Structure 1
Amino acid sequence: MLERLAPIRNWIFDLDNTLYPASANLFDQVDQRMTGFIQDLLGVDWDEAHRVQKAYFHGHGTTLSGLMTEHQVDPHAFLAHVHDIEMDVLEHDAPLVAAIAKLPGRKLVFTNGDTPYATRILERLGLAASFEAIHDIHAMGLVPKPHASAYAGFCETFGIDPIESLFVDDMSRNLAPAKAIGMTTVWVDNGSEQAPADVDHDHIDFTVPALTPWLEAILER
């Protein structure tokens, strides 16, 4: 393994577009259902609902956080609605299962989704038994990544030393608070973030196009 990764004892992974490839377009289904939810809630057309959705996502961290702040939306009702999707686009990922199994130390999922949704995805990928725990949006007190409190709460819950931790996410903005507390950061740069090209990425330690090949590469060292 890479010498600089020798201190890592905690391997932390985002869920959507990180543990499965963005090309699966699974989250597109969630995205569509979020837009539809806003369309019905506000009585606006699809384009305006989509604009509001993205404004809340970028301004509040998640669409849900924006809806809760601006419209007092029930988070349970929202999550149940947007996560009611088919997952047949996901397949058992034997190489990823094998790579994660070889990582030394603890393995955890840290997601702005909820646990039932995350569990369904992990089961489809063959990863249901690969992780110690799922830390979801409810465990964060509904305050999502990239808010600093989400990371502090995660570390406190699991007794994690950030210096001994590595965090993988497809959203570079979600890695900045992790780096600020001492974590090693891995950005899965697959286009899912849709951030401006000139965004500062100094908080990124590793940039990879996909997770599995990178894990296999570091495990071969």
Structure 2
Amino acid sequence: MSSQAEEPKRAAASRPILFFDIDNCLYPRSTKVHDLMADLIDKYFATHLGLSDQEAFRLHKEYYQNYGLAIEGLVRHHQIDPLDYNAKVDDALPLEGIIKRNPELRKLLEDIDTSKVKLWLLTNAYVTHGRRVVKLLGIDDLFEGLTYCDYSQMPIICKPHKDMYAKAMKEAGVERPEDCFFVDDSYGNVVGAKKLGWASVHLVEEGLPVPRTPASEYQIRHLEELRNIFPQFFKSSNEA
């Protein structure tokens, strides 16, 4: 799998792109990775900013809501070293004991006809975390590239900012928004992509409340439903 740090794709794409978010999208929320990460972020706020646990929780939530990522607020307002943050939060997660290979997910992705669509990862995590997760899931070889939130670049750009989607298009080698297809569990990220003309799918995992106003035209409970939403991209559909 290539990445922006290696060989960004700059030529016009001959295939549309199917972008996948990673966290709470390629693996279920029930793994509690998000909860573990939130705890580490709260601890980072408390330790590095000298805050009480309650104030750390409040500020973490405020920065996430305002910027899409807690780290954006930390860098913007407190001059925190983002790579130190990454080492003590994302890279400190004990993922090896939590995220396992998923044969069903691999089968779903293998059933996609990559002569018709390019598979690409689009995450707000840093590159080390993104690569670690897809490797643990056993699907890292199925994607042609990874667009990630580069903590080493200022300002930090992440979904749902329009510049993050523009960055993904450039790196994946696609010029037209109508050639972009996107799956994410975040309501805001799906709304942001849809505004730019991407065909966006909101994954609302089974058991979670359905939003009163849908984020986009497509809302699913399971990734398997992509077979019905985008049948043109699946080998089995073509053969049938």
TM-score bracket, shorter-length normalisation: 0.7 to 0.9
**Equivalent residue number for residue 206 of structure 1:** 218
**Equivalent residue number for residue 12 of structure 2:** none
TM-score, normalised to structure 2's length?
A: 0.80
- How many residue pairs match? The answer is 210
Alignment partner for residue 60 of structure 2, among 53, 66, 77? 53
Measure the CA separation in 2 of the matches of 1:193 and 1:174: 17
Measure the CA separation in 1 of the matches of 2:110 and 2:82: 33
Measure the CA separation in 1 of the matches of 2:209 and 2:23: 14
Q: Any idea what the Cα deviations from partners look like across 1:96-139, whole Å, max 9, x if unmatched? A: 11111222321111001011111111111111101111111118
**Equivalent residue number for residue 103 of structure 2:** 94
Residues 1:144 and 2:158 aligned together: yes
Q: Judge conservation of contact 1:189–1:207 (CA < 8 Å) in 2.
A: yes
Alignment partner for residue 85 of structure 1, among 93, 108, 127? 93
**Equivalent residue number for residue 130 of structure 2:** 118
TM-score, normalised to structure 1's length?
A: 0.87
Measure the CA separation in 1 of the matches of 2:209 and 2:102: 26
**What secondary structure is seen at the aligned counterpart in 2 of 1:186?**
strand
**Equivalent residue number for residue 226 of structure 2:** 215
**Equivalent residue number for residue 179 of structure 2:** 164
CA positional deviation for 1:146: 0.8
Matched letter for residue 48 of structure 1 = E
User: How many percent identity over aligned positions?
Assistant: 24
Name stretches of at least 5 consecutive residues in structure 1 with no aligned partner.
1-7
Measure the CA separation in 1 of the matches of 2:107 and 2:88: 33
**Equivalent residue number for residue 14 of structure 1:** 21
Residues 1:175 and 2:196 aligned together: no
Distance 1:55-1:175 versus aligned 2 partners, 3 A rule: same
Name stretches of at least 5 consecutive residues in structure 2 with no aligned partner.
1-14
CA positional deviation for 1:164: 1.5
CA positional deviation for 1:81: 0.8
**What secondary structure is seen at the aligned counterpart in 1 of 2:201?**
strand
**What secondary structure is seen at the aligned counterpart in 2 of 1:143?**
coil
CA positional deviation for 1:30: 1.2
CA positional deviation for 1:193: 9.6
**Equivalent residue number for residue 143 of structure 2:** 131
**What secondary structure is seen at the aligned counterpart in 1 of 2:142?**
coil
Measure the CA separation in 1 of the matches of 2:127 and 2:190: 21
CA positional deviation for 1:158: 2.1
Measure the CA separation in 2 of the matches of 1:85 and 1:172: 24
